[in-house]
Chains A and B, each alone.
Chain A
Amino acid sequence: MSTAPGSSIRRLAGTWIGIVPFLIFAVLFILMPTANIVIGAFQDTDGGFTLTNMARLFEPRLMASFWLSIKVSLMSAGLGVLTGFLIAVAVSHGGLPPRLRAPLLTFSGVAANFAGVPLAFAFIATLGRLGFITILLKEWLGINIYSAGFNLISFWGLIFVYLYFQLALMLLIIMPALDGLKKEWREAAEVLGATHLQYWRMVALPVLFPALLGTFALLFANSFGAIATAQALTGSSQSLITIQLFAQIRGDVLQDPRIGYAIAFGMIVITGLANALYIVLRQRSEKWIK
């Protein structure tokens, strides 16, 4: 009776109906808009297939923007991983009082979300030409950091600001991973005569390596897609690829509209690769640290 085709179809429909609204939403508002961009990147204005849009990505102006975004992301992710790792190790294995941990994690949770426009304002108020620290250094120590070559609205200034949320995110991810290092490993290493440094170099770091590299990829993608902080901080003096695309969409740049598709497609490829790397490495790191 239950094998009648009508009822089995109904049963199948009954099983799937609960996620149909979600799937419709996902197709309509995530997959199709993205597919629209990807397909558009390979179409000319009449809808025919073309590689001209892609070829135009290699114009020096756009290449320079992509390269700038990649450099900012690499540097801010690299510095975030490095400094975050050192601070996390100091707090969890460096003999600091354990009660520092919880406040640091709570604060990191806030700082990781304190991005965008307000973050740029905070740094301008602190290290801008009239910023708190700029003036303090000038009045107390007679050091004028701006005449010494420092400029917040620059490549390194931008990286220094990005480091705020990158470092916070790194701490949020790596502190639990450091807790996963088993005490037995360190004891075993010590029994075998390893020094502290040898333990880190030959046991802890290899175990943590996938987690570190994976977090690096995540931070890279995090910074690569960012725009609000950079726009509020530097205007358009640092022409990141996101700022270029934003101007293109707004219509501030009057030229071939197809180029926007190509830029967006290039961005999807880059963040897609970074995230794929993150997912693969996270799985690998969970083999040891759970």
Chain B
Amino acid sequence: MDQMTTAAPRARRRRNLWSWIAFTLGVAYFVLPLIGMFEFSLRKRRDAYSFDAYTSILGDPQFQQTFLYSLVMSLVTVVLGLLLVLPTAFWVRLKLPAMRPVVEFITLLPLVIPVIVIAFGYIRMFNTSSFLPMTGSIMGTNILLAIGYATLSLPYMYRAIDNGLRTIDVGTLTEAAQSLGAGWLTILYRIMLPNVYTAVLSGAFLTISIVLGEYVFAALLDRPALGPYMVWVGGNKAYEPAALAVIAFAVTWGLMGLIQAMSRLSKHTRVAR
């Protein structure tokens, strides 16, 4: 008994020390590359730290065009994903609960099949000699790219919206709306959508984050997106890549921060009700 009382605190202190070491090493591993890329991005001018690399990137018309292209693509993808997922998730909850595992399995497939394989499949299936020659024109290729992005974001979008629908009583709301004479579109976009707004926004921000940095699809479909531009900068400039990485990290952090704020906001409204 006596031995235990003196040994236990010492063991705990030692455990504590090891915990701090593990935690500190982990934090160092996570943070040092961020410091490194920031410091490196400031080195463009020979004699002093400066933001020259940033002005060089932000002033590059190529950057502006590809960033705008990817931003527009990400918004198109969000709309496409929403049109695809919200009615489906709603309908499965309302009328076809037995289909849930099947639909869920399909939405997870884009995580199982490597992106490059899906892109390869698109190129083979929608080329100029196929039944749906989407890669034959620029607009068609843009649409195909948006569809590809919608596929990539399907797992996240579906889970976000389905989780949102779980917190509301889909059946009762639908019946109430129908008894007041609402049609399906009204129910979907004026009743379900506002109720799962925060969930939709979380899915949307994650989708934007994925699309902005995506490389494989855009490169293989040969569209002027941000991903291929970043690779080009990496091969041709010295300090600009680090500045780009800092910008990318800031954007990712901002979007993830918005998601966190959203989930906090939704908890708030639910408690208040």
Q: Which residues of A are interface residues toward B (Cβ below 8 A)?
A: 15-16, 18-19, 21-22, 25-26, 28-34, 36-37, 40, 83, 86-87, 89-91, 94-96, 100, 106-107, 109-111, 113-127, 130-133, 163-164, 167-168, 196, 221, 224-225, 227-228, 231-232, 235, 242, 245-246, 249-250, 260, 264, 267-268, 271-272, 275
Contacts and interface: CB of A to CB of B under 8 A. Distances in A.
A221 B22 contact: no
Interface string B29-54: 11011111101110000000000000
A125 B227 contact: no
Given A87-B22, A232-B230, A242-B114, A95 B36 contact: no
B248 A133 contact: no
Given A94-B18, A267-B117, 8 more contacts: A29-B147, A89-B22, A109-B259, A110-B252, A117-B231, A118-B230, A121-B242, A249-B120
Interface stretch (B68-76, B95-103, B165-173, B189-197): B95-103
Given A30-B109, A164-B30, A225-B116, A125 B245 contact: yes
Most A Cβ at <10 Å: residue of B94, B111, B117: B117
B220 A167 contact: no
Interface of B: 11-12, 15-16, 18-20, 22-23, 25-26, 29-30, 32-37, 39-41, 84-85, 87-88, 90-92, 94-96, 99, 103, 106, 109-125, 132, 147-148, 151, 206, 209-210, 213-216, 219-220, 227, 230-231, 234-235, 241-242, 244-245, 248-249, 252-253, 256, 259-260
Contacts of A245: 116-117, 120
Q: 5 nearest interchain CB pairs?
A: A33-B121, A126-B36, A94-B19, A18-B91, A225-B114
Contacts of A86: 22
A33 B216 CA distance: 16
B231 A95 contact: no
